[in-house]
Chains A and B, each alone.
Chain A
Amino acid sequence: MQELFQQLANGIAWGSIYALIALGYTMVYGILRLINFAHGDVYMVGAFAAYYIASATGAGGARASLPMALLVLLGAMLVSALLGMLIEFFAYRPVRRSSRLTALITAIGVSLFLENAGLRLFGADPKFFPQLIPPRRITLAGGVIVTNHQITVVAVSILLMIALTLFIQRTRTGKAMRAVAFNRDAASLMGIPVNRIITITFAIGSALAAAAGVLVGLTNPKIEPLMGIMPGIKAFVAAVLGGIGSIPGAVIGGLVMGVSEYLVVGYVSSTYRDAIAFVILILVLLIRPAGLLGRNVAEKV
């Protein structure tokens, strides 16, 4: 029993990272009906931005402290937000009125570009993410052991998700985002600056991916330019599982993915670690194509 709880605890910490990445997929999809395949690579850039900021400021070594860790996190989020806005402006905006297939292929192109630019700029050898917070072991009730890093991951994820929900539900910009997601043309007729709203969506989604990158670096201190591929795909599955376009759906999808991965490795075989994501994807598409919290929308032909 203790083993099961241990696997669940680890799975939740790992799943929160998928949830953060999945939020970006779901937000962009909600507004543009575009699967932003470069999103996993934005997550990678976020981790590298944090790596370089931490190295430059000494936040990983002598001057490690909580405010410094926060500074690194915010810096990485800023860098990725800028990157997300640039990607939207240069890659997606020109093809926005083209077919959805064109946009999808553009997204794959951006993803490959970021991966290979990363290999060129950062080098192919893995880097070791600095210790922003010294690790500490915490024993919970029932003998379940977690680290302060895992608790940080879950706490930061929850905070960011609450902030995002408040932003979308309570602010004018959030309301505008919902309006654009609902009907872009009607929103534009009502005087909502659609371009600016889309840019903001990309900035927020990318910043969340960067936060996920920093949190992964904290718990699993190895980063490399191709690290975004698998988590990117799995977060995409998480978004589909939760119902793409739905924000609570992305969170639930991410957690389900993380926990099922741990249970498969723990009780079946580590070989199926990556396969479980695709099994889930196939099952969702067969049984409930709209996802757990998604609405079935009939397409007008």
Chain B
Amino acid sequence: MIRSLRSWSLAIALVAALGLVTGCAKKSNEIVIGEYGSLTGTTATFGISSKNGIELYLDNLNAAGGVGGTKVKVIVEDDQSKPEEAATAVNKLVDQDGVIAVLGEVASSRSMAAAPICQQSGVPMISPSSTNPKVTEIGDYIFRVCFIDPFQGQMIAKFTKEKLGFTKAAVFRDIKNDYSVGLANYFTDAYHALGGAIVADEAYSEGDQDFKAQLTVIKSKKPQVLIVPGYYTEVGLIARQAREMGLDVPMVGGDGWVSDKLIEIGQDALNGSYHVNHYWEEDPNPAIQKFVTEYKARYNAKPDGLAALAYDAAGVLTAALDRLRTEDPAAFKALLGPRNDAQKAARAKLRDRIASTKDYPGVTGRITLDAARNAVKPAVFVGIKNGKYEFVATVEP
């Protein structure tokens, strides 16, 4: 009897303590949003760049008074570059932290793992840079501020066939990665339509270390160009091993190559290769240069395309919040309050404001969201020469 009494009182004390903890977490004078990203793991630079971009935007905004006097706070979760961890991270953000909107991810596989949670809970999610079309098809609460892969694949095909003049291409895709498989398929369709031939289509899995077996097969088919729609870690290793095997053709890839680490891994093996980016950092446009200068001063690194998109994703979200504040102050106030039906209704109104984003002046171009909640924007091609990037072309949709 005594023992059961003791365990009961212990349980009550625990519950009380939990109540105290959750009670403290929520302050009613700031808007709390969530962010999840790959701060560690195989695509760590994706998450770090995105985090920096969002942090820079929000700190500037808060220094200037926030959204009409209300500060915006972001809670960041690491998903270790794993889809299952992305789902865990977003569950935590939505259930425990009670965020009113979520920013993330870069990788489509991870956005697709987390998006259903946001959709079911009615929490708007903006992916800065997931390009697979299936991401926003998950539901009407899921948005993105970048172009999508059918467009990107088509642009890579056009660039390879018309600008570089190659008619025989080999595709080397990451079979474990939704983004890579999708992009490889869109490229293949578009390249065939333009009259090009795919002489080899081989696959690897994210995290592989050795690609020589597949590269041997590719080399025997004598392609003029190697299309690698994967992520930078593997791309760097593939480039190295391709050169070691005597496969010296140029490589072309998508925005999965965007990382400072790419050249560090691939080094000389990447010279003469090209990839898609979301913006060009040396663009003379003053808004872009202001962003680049501030970012460099703060993080001592060049902002890559993913940092720029994350900066814009935070911008699109806070612009929608600001419109909600002026158009429907009661709903805006409900966003600051506890998690109840009133807040849910307010989040639905916030969703409508994000959906109606039109001509938002971002550093990655003017952002207008279409009916499928995707941004329609131009793509930039950059080339690698002597270990440095150079601007090649901008392709309008």
**Partner pick for A10 among B44, B203, B212, B237, CB 8 A cutoff:** B212
- A125 to chain B: which residues have CB within 8 Å? 40-42, 44
- A196 to chain B: which residues have CB within 8 Å? none
Considering the complex, give the chain B residue whose CB is closest to the CB of A265.
Answer: B213
Q: Name the 3 nearest CB pairs between A and B, nearest first.
A: A265-B213, A124-B40, A125-B44
Q: Does residue B84 face the partner (Cβ distance < 8 Å to A)?
A: no
In whole angstroms, how far apart are the Cα atoms of A266 and B80 in the complex?
31
State whether A222 touches B203 (Cβ < 8 A): no
**Partner pick for A265 among B41, B214, B261, CB 8 A cutoff:** B214
- B42 to chain A: which residues have CB within 8 Å? 125-126, 224
State whether B214 touches A270 (Cβ < 8 A): yes
State whether B233 touches A270 (Cβ < 8 A): no
Q: Does residue A195 face the partner (Cβ distance < 8 Å to B)?
A: no
State whether A220 touches B202 (Cβ < 8 A): no
In whole angstroms, how far apart are the Cα atoms of A14 and B246 in the complex?
18
Min C-beta distance of A269 to chain B, whole Å: 7
- B contact residues, total (Cβ < 8 Å): 31
Query: Could you name 29 residue pairs across A and B whose Cβ atoms are closer than 8 Å?
Result: A3-B216, A7-B216, A11-B213, A14-B210, A123-B40, A125-B42, A126-B42, A126-B233, A128-B265, A145-B245, A147-B244, A149-B244, A216-B209, A220-B237, A221-B265, A222-B209, A222-B265, A227-B209, A261-B213, A266-B213, A266-B214, A266-B217, A269-B203, A270-B202, A270-B203, A270-B205, A271-B175, A271-B205, A273-B208
In whole angstroms, how far apart are the Cα atoms of A261 and B214 in the complex?
11
In whole angstroms, how far apart are the Cα atoms of A216 and B208 in the complex?
12
State whether B217 touches A124 (Cβ < 8 A): no
Range, interface on chain A? 20 to 34
The residues of B with any CB-CB pair to A shorter than 8 Å are 40-42, 44, 80-81, 175, 202-205, 208-210, 212-214, 216-217, 220, 233, 237, 240-241, 243-246, 261, 264-265
Q: Does residue A236 face the partner (Cβ distance < 8 Å to B)?
A: no
**Partner pick for A270 among B213, B237, B244, B265, CB 8 A cutoff:** B213
**Given A3-B217, A11-B213, A222-B237, 17 more pairs with CB closer than 8 A:** A2-B220, A6-B216, A6-B245, A124-B40, A124-B80, A125-B41, A125-B44, A137-B243, A145-B246, A222-B265, A262-B213, A265-B213, A265-B214, A266-B213, A269-B203, A270-B213, A271-B203
In whole angstroms, how far apart are the Cα atoms of A11 and B216 in the complex?
12
Q: Does residue A135 face the partner (Cβ distance < 8 Å to B)?
A: yes
Considering the complex, give the chain B residue whose CB is closest to the CB of A263.
Answer: B213
Min C-beta distance of A117 to chain B, whole Å: 15
A7-B213, A137-B244 known; A270+B40 contact, CB < 8 A: no
- In chain A, residues 114-154, which have Cβ atoms closer than 8 Å to a Cβ of chain B? 123-126, 128, 135, 137, 139, 145, 147, 149
- A6 to chain B: which residues have CB within 8 Å? 216, 245
Min C-beta distance of B228 to chain A, whole Å: 14
Considering the complex, give the chain A residue whose CB is closest to the CB of B202.
Answer: A270
In whole angstroms, how far apart are the Cα atoms of A270 and B175 in the complex?
9
State whether A270 touches B209 (Cβ < 8 A): no
B interface footprint on A216-253 (CB within 8 Å = 1, 0 otherwise) = 10011110100100000000000000000000000000
In whole angstroms, how far apart are the Cα atoms of A295 and B244 in the complex?
42
State whether A128 touches B216 (Cβ < 8 A): no
Considering the complex, give the chain B residue whose CB is closest to the CB of A139.
Answer: B246
In whole angstroms, how far apart are the Cα atoms of A91 and B240 in the complex?
41
- In chain A, residues 266-291, which have Cβ atoms closer than 8 Å to a Cβ of chain B? 266, 269-271, 273
In whole angstroms, how far apart are the Cα atoms of A269 and B173 in the complex?
12
Query: Which among A128, A135, A227, A265 has the greatest number of chain B C-beta atoms within 10 A?
Result: A265
A137-B246, A270-B204 known; A10+B213 contact, CB < 8 A: yes
- A128 to chain B: which residues have CB within 8 Å? 261, 264-265
- B81 to chain A: which residues have CB within 8 Å? 124
